[in-house]
């Protein structure tokens, strides 16, 4: 049995987000991290590895520096890492990204006992689309928003969160599961793990490695193969600075209540 | 099915989600918005409703909010949401009837279903949209109000008929308008609570046409089994529908119960509900249905009161469009003050009871 975990390197949006004068994001000024939901997916895979001794393979698509993030995953306990990186893949929307990642997963190989895991969504794009789109391209059943996963034989049972409760879903492996933070608390890298991480295999799949997959085609990858395009991007106008009420006493509160009354809010 | 044969596609469709046979509030929001888009294109607005036997009875109500027609697919296999079954039926019906735009509510179910269908249909999907346009003149007007772009210096193709799907990125610091020019249907999930609902019109509901398109669905199409659906025991907090929200943040940490009680008293005086930042939910002080922000709910009430909330972008992303924001925070450099209409720098435990009292007095004086 093996678990393939698809992870993404994202800018850390918990810090200050910097926007260039032309309205695009200043990525260079931001730290990068492994996408938080993906950490939960990786932890879920590593827990299964602890329990069953199965193999965990992490895969990411991104520029060469994303290899650093893969080393971190190896240091947490993953066995093998694949970096999917090529100029032809750049500019992909979620449809094109899922085509490429599905082709990479096909090359790794999905066997009867395997599970593919993803995070629910990445904090930079926030689409939550790539997981289900990969599942469709791989012809696998999908379960999204997983808050609890148990596997018995080839049957996987997942607690799938809804806004007002949850549903329990059963399916057979191979399948694809997207994970949320309620699932677990990701572990730290260990010092020994960091040391070992540099001895574990890290492979790069370039365009030539994947080009023979039927999913990879000029009309389905990269900027040209993306069904969606950015028409405009812009920054919203800064809301005018509000009014700071001096003091924090009874008079201040009465003044605010007076303003709210004058505006017919109360 | 050729999704690139754009001329073959017509009409605007809305996926109408039901749970336990009841329509979701997002359906009415999307039907209302879809009505505008269909008018701009000069085409019909159609609902697509999947459910168990008898779901047809719910369909006419959609007409009351603007649907010309509702396509109803009934099967015992569709009574509870199932990705495989729903994707199969929806894709079959879309391949047959070819809508040009397809809107889906960005609920936990919509966000599971939409990408699966978009991948099968080979078309584009834009996630969690907060604004939609067809007409370029309307879009330009929107940019004038909601962007810092110099729209007059740009060239515009006024004949452009693409659906322009606008969504916030990076917590609202950047907005992106996405188009899907080469494939159909053009798909979008729409954030619940963003679009305004039309008033219900009984005459339009009566005039709404119900159609039952043919579809096939068998056991072999479905690889997942839903064994139970459990509702949270607690009643859901209606943050999205609330006009007034009083939210608490990490600032209540020195006396959590007392802080929540003060917020509840203020909310009760204003006629609103209590919300919280992610910090309060992660600490277990409030249940997750209270969470406002990027990973919680997006709200735009008339008044949002932020008590002891610093104003991280993930939080601001969920509330910055509130009509009036009042912030109380000890730290006068807290980012929440950048977007607050009225700010008080002080201890929320002292200020909140005074504010509640002042509002009570002001109401009594009216």
pLDDT digits (tens, 9 = 90+) for B303-347: 999 999 999 988 998 898 888 999 999 999 999 998 999 999 999
CB atoms within 10 A of CB B258: 12
Q: Which residue of chain B comes nearest to A171, CA vs CA? A: B224
What number is the average pLDDT over the span A28-33? 80
* Cβ neighbours of A214 in B, within 8 Å: none
DSSP, collapsed to helix, strand or coil, labels residue B12 as: strand
CB atoms within 10 A of CB B190: 28
Residues linked to residue A244 through DSSP beta bridges, in sequence order? B343
Confidence of residue B137 (pLDDT cuts 50, 70, 90): very high
Query: CB of A19 within 8 Å of any CB in chain B?
Result: yes
pLDDT more than 90, % of chain A: 76
Q: Which residue of chain B comes nearest to A182, CA vs CA? A: B282
pLDDT of residue B231: 87
* Cβ neighbours of A98 in B, within 8 Å: 119
Counting beta carbons within 10 angstroms of the beta carbon of residue B83, is it exposed (0 to 12), middle (13 to 18) or buried (19 or more)?
buried
Question: Is the pLDDT reported for residue A266 higher than 80?
Answer: no
What number is the average pLDDT over the span B259-274? 93
Residue scoring higher pLDDT (A23 or A193) = A193
What number is the average pLDDT over the span B70-89? 97
pLDDT of residue A223: 92
* Cβ neighbours of B112 in A, within 8 Å: 132, 142, 144-145
Least confident of A12-26, A71-85, A225-239, B23-37: A12-26
| C-alpha B32: how far from chain center | 13
pLDDT of residue A163: 85
Residue scoring higher pLDDT (A108 or B317) = A108
Confidence of residue B255 (pLDDT cuts 50, 70, 90): very high
Query: Are A243 and B337 a contacting pair at CB < 8 A?
Result: no
pLDDT of residue B60: 95
* Cβ neighbours of B84 in A, within 8 Å: 141
pTM across the whole model = 0.84
Q: What is the ipTM of this complex?
A: 0.90
Token pair of B262 as six digits? 């003060």
DSSP state of A97: H
pLDDT of residue A19: 64
Planar angle of CA A93, B43, B205, nearest 5 degrees: 110
What number is the average pLDDT over the span A210-214? 96
Average predicted confidence (pLDDT) for chain A: 92
Query: Are A167 and B343 a contacting pair at CB < 8 A?
Result: no
pLDDT of residue A236: 79
Query: CB of A261 within 8 Å of any CB in chain B?
Result: yes
Counting beta carbons within 10 angstroms of the beta carbon of residue B199, is it exposed (0 to 12), middle (13 to 18) or buried (19 or more)?
exposed
What number is the average pLDDT over the span A200-204? 97
pLDDT of residue B363: 85
Query: Are A258 and B362 a contacting pair at CB < 8 A?
Result: yes
pLDDT digits (tens, 9 = 90+) for B347-356: 999 999 999 9
What number is the average pLDDT over the span A171-182? 96
- Name the residue with tokens 């104003």: B311
Query: Helices in chain A by DSSP H: which ranges?
Result: 36-52, 67-76, 94-108, 130-137, 191-197, 207-210, 250-262
């Amino acid at each position: 049995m093996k678990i393939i975990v698809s992870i993404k390197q994202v800018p850390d949006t918990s810090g200050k987000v910097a926007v260039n004068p032309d309205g695009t994001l200043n990525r260079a000024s931001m730290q990068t991290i492994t996408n938080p939901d993906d950490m939960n997916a990786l932890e879920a895979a590593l827990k299964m590895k602890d329990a069953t001794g199965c193999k965990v393979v992490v895969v990411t698509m991104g520029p060469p520096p994303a290899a650093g993030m893969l080393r971190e995953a190896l240091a947490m306990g993953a066995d093998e890492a694949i970096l999917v990186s090529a100029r032809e893949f750049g500019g992909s929307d979620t449809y094109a990204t899922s085509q490429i990642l599905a082709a990479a997963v096909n090359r790794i190989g999905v066997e009867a006992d395997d599970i593919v895991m993803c995070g629910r969504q990445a904090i930079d794009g926030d689409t939550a689309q790539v997981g289900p789109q990969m599942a469709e391209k791989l012809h696998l059943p999908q379960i999204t928003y997983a808050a609890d996963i148990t596997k018995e034989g080839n049957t996987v049972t997942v607690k799938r969160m809804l806004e007002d409760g949850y549903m329990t879903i059963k399916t057979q492996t191979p399948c694809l599961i997207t994970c949320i933070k309620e699932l677990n608390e990701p572990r730290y890298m260990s010092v020994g793990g960091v040391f070992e991480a540099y001895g574990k295999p890290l492979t790069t799949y370039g365009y030539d490695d994947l080009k023979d997959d039927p999913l990879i085609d000029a009309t389905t990858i990269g900027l040209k193969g993306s069904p969606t395009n950015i028409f405009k991007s812009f920054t919203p106008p800064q809301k005018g600075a509000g009014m700071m009420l001096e003091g924090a006493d009874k008079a201040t509160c009465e003044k605010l209540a007076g303003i709210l009354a004058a505006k017919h809010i109360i | 099915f050729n999704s690139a044969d754009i001329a073959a596609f017509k009409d605007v469709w809305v996926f109408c989600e039901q749970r336990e046979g009841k329509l979701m509030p997002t359906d009415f929001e999307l039907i209302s918005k879809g009505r505008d888009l269909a008018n701009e294109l000069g085409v019909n607005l159609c609902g697509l409703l999947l459910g168990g036997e008898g779901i047809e009875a719910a369909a006419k109500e959609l007409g009351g909010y603007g649907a010309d027609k509702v396509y109803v697919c009934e099967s015992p296999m569709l009574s509870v949401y199932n990705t495989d079954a729903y994707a199969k039926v929806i894709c079959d019906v879309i391949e047959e009837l070819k809508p040009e735009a397809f809107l889906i509510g960005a609920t936990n179910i919509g966000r599971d279903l939409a990408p699966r269908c978009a991948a099968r249909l080979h078309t584009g999907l834009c996630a969690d949209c907060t604004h939609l346009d067809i007409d370029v003149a309307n879009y330009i007007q929107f940019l004038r109000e909601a962007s810092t772009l110099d729209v007059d210096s740009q060239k515009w193709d006024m004949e452009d008929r693409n659906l322009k799907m606008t969504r916030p990125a990076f917590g609202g610091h950047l907005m992106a308008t996405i188009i899907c020019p080469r494939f159909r249907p053009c798909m979008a999930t729409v954030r619940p609570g963003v679009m305004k609902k039309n008033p219900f019109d009984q005459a339009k509901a009566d005039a709404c046409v119900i159609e039952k398109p043919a579809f096939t669905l068998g056991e072999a199409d479905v690889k997942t089994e839903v064994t139970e659906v459990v509702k949270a025991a607690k009643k859901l907090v209606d943050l999205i529908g609330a006009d007034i929200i009083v939210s608490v943040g990490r600032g209540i940490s020195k006396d959590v119960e007392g802080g929540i009680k003060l917020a509840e008293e203020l909310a009760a005086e204003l006629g609103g509900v209590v919300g919280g930042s992610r910090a309060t939910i992660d600490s277990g002080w409030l249940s997750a249905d209270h969470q406002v922000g990027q990973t919680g709910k997006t709200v735009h009430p008339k008044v949002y009161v932020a008590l002891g909330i610093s104003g991280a972008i993930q939080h601001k992303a969920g509330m910055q469009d509130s009509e009036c924001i009042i912030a109380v925070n000890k730290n006068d450099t807290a980012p929440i003050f950048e977007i607050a209409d009225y700010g008080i720098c002080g201890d929320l435990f002292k200020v909140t009871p005074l504010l509640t009292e002042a509002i009570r007095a002001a109401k009594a004086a009216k």
